[in-house]
Amino acid sequence: MKFRPIFNASVLATALSINGLASAAPSKAPTVEELWTIIQQQQKQIERLSAKTRQNEEKVEATGEILEKQVATSSGHGASGKTTIGGYGELHYNNLEQGDGEEIKEADLHRFVLFFGHEFNERTRLVTELEVEHGGVEADGSPLGGEVEVEQAYVEFDINDTTSAKGGVFLLPVGILNETHEPPTFYGVERNPVENIIIPATWWAGGASVSTNFANGISADFALHTGLQVPTSGSSAFRIRSGRQKISNASANDLAMTARVKYTGIPGLELSGSLHYQSDISQTSGDGADEATLFETHAVWNRGPFTAKALFASWDIDGDAAAAADGDKQDGYYIEGAYKLNKDFGIFARYNNVDGVRVQDEFKQVDVGFNWWPNEDVVIKVDYMDRENDNDSDRDVDGFNVGIGYQF
């Protein structure tokens, strides 16, 4: 076999440079046989290195798999790693003036809430919500005048892919805010007054319910649960909000039923209607307060940066005492428009009309303001409110509110 000189020089240079022998090059050039031996040795070394590289890649892959499994099993809490923690909170500052000249300037840790959830298995889970309102509670109510409440504590069972049942303490399927009220999800420092006075949100009860959803975006809920126990005398007579029992040795003489049908089959659109019925809203026979029905309907329309909301809710309460107290018809509505200037900043305006039973619960209110989300789970809110009472100008209220809220 003959080699041309240029090939010899090329092979020699390559062999010397690869082998790092340039500095130790022998004074006499190696023969072709010696070069062939060197190349064969290098080839074996390359094969050994390649095999080692493959082994290292396999080890890295195996290590990655183990680490990922560990991460997957340690992503929750508790012995099984299936307990989750979440929560939300909101601090409010109110700077308001009433029609009689009285000023309200106060700061309030309105809510601090912790969620604990646990997955017993793939089809059975626990959902709980523990809430501390207004900073806490003391036995004599001073200086902490708040409440500690368990607003949710239910076990949910999957019946199939689309239907589930729950038993325990749960939020009733009524209105926009009652089930979803984390501060970053709505405009305004304080929640709208319609879903406070007419729909007593946050409204929870103990009982059982079943929920199902259909492929066309329609869902339905039905719940049988403890009812309200509305007072029929005193300053809060027939005030709906005062009838919440909060599942504290709650009277269950007259259970209530709530049903909802909701349509979300078009992105950005929600249409919903709820019906709530209780055969005796005071749960006391012969006191002039009998059957009560709440009808609620709302629409939410989100298109790009625009969001519009409208809600109407109306109570119809039978009984002579209810009529005499002008509490037999209580209703309210609000409309809200909002525009997001960018993903972090949005402005809103809302008109509320409330017709409750007490003098202070009959008014029209305008709210305007903005939300700023420095993080998607944190919100800073500022709004101006102007409330005009229907019957007593001393109960007019105007001023501004500032709040910070968060969820996790």
Partner 1 sequence: MSRWLYLFLVCLLPLTTHARGTYQEPSAFINDVFAETPPTAKRLWLTGELKKSASAILGHAPTSLRLRYWGRDARTAWVLEEIGKEKPITVGIVVNKNRIERVKVLVFRESRGWEVRHDFFTKQFIDARLTAARELDRSIDGISGATLSVRALKKLTRLSLHLHQQTPFAHDAP
Site residues (vs partner 1, CB under 8 A): 61, 64, 67-68, 71-72, 75, 84, 86, 115, 117, 119, 121-125, 127, 156-162, 164-165, 167, 176, 179-180, 185, 207-210, 213, 215, 217, 219, 224, 254-255, 257, 264-268, 270, 279, 300, 302-305, 376
Closest distance of CB 321 from partner 1, Å: 23
Question: How far is CA 231 from its chain centroid?
Answer: 32
Closest distance of CB 220 from partner 1, Å: 13
- Which residue number, 211 or 389, has a Cβ lying nearer to partner 1? 211
- Which residue number, 10 or 124, has a Cβ lying nearer to partner 1? 124
3-class DSSP string for 35-100? HHHHHHHHHHHHHHHHHHHHHHHHHHHHHHHHHHHHHHHCCCECCCCCEEEEEEEEEEEEEEEECC
- Which residue number, 167 or 286, has a Cβ lying nearer to partner 1? 167
- Which residue number, 94 or 407, has a Cβ lying nearer to partner 1? 407
- Which residue number, 38 or 174, has a Cβ lying nearer to partner 1? 174
In angstroms, rounded to a whole number, what is the distance separating the alpha carbons of residues 174 and 240? Answer: 14
Q: What angle do CA 148, 93, 398 make, to 5 degrees?
A: 115
Is 353 within 8 Å of 331 (Cβ atoms)?
no
Give the β-pairing of 306-317 and 329-342.
antiparallel
Closest distance of CB 124 from partner 1, Å: 7
Closest distance of CB 297 from partner 1, Å: 14
Closest distance of CB 168 from partner 1, Å: 12
Is 12 within 8 Å of 30 (Cβ atoms)?
yes
DSSP class of residue 192?
A: P
Closest distance of CB 333 from partner 1, Å: 17
- Which residue number, 302 or 314, has a Cβ lying nearer to partner 1? 302
Q: Nearest-CA neighbor of 254 among 164, 319, 197? A: 319
Q: Nearest-CA neighbor of 219 among 274, 285, 294? A: 274
Closest distance of CB 278 from partner 1, Å: 10
User: Residue 166 forms beta bridges with which residues?
Assistant: 156, 209
DSSP class of residue 323?
A: H
Q: Nearest-CA neighbor of 381 among 360, 400, 407, 359? A: 400
Closest distance of CB 153 from partner 1, Å: 14
- Which residue number, 175 or 200, has a Cβ lying nearer to partner 1? 175
Other beta carbons within 10 angstroms of residue 209's beta carbon come to 24
User: Residue 313 forms beta bridges with which residues?
Assistant: 296, 332
Closest distance of CB 256 from partner 1, Å: 8
In angstroms, rounded to a whole number, what is the distance separating the alpha carbons of residues 26 and 30? Answer: 8
Closest distance of CB 64 from partner 1, Å: 5
Is 239 strand, coil or helix?
coil
- Which residue number, 37 or 55, has a Cβ lying nearer to partner 1? 55
Query: Roughly how many angstroms between the first and final C-alpha of the chain, as a whole number?
Result: 78
- Which residue number, 76 or 136, has a Cβ lying nearer to partner 1? 76
- Which residue number, 32 or 126, has a Cβ lying nearer to partner 1? 126
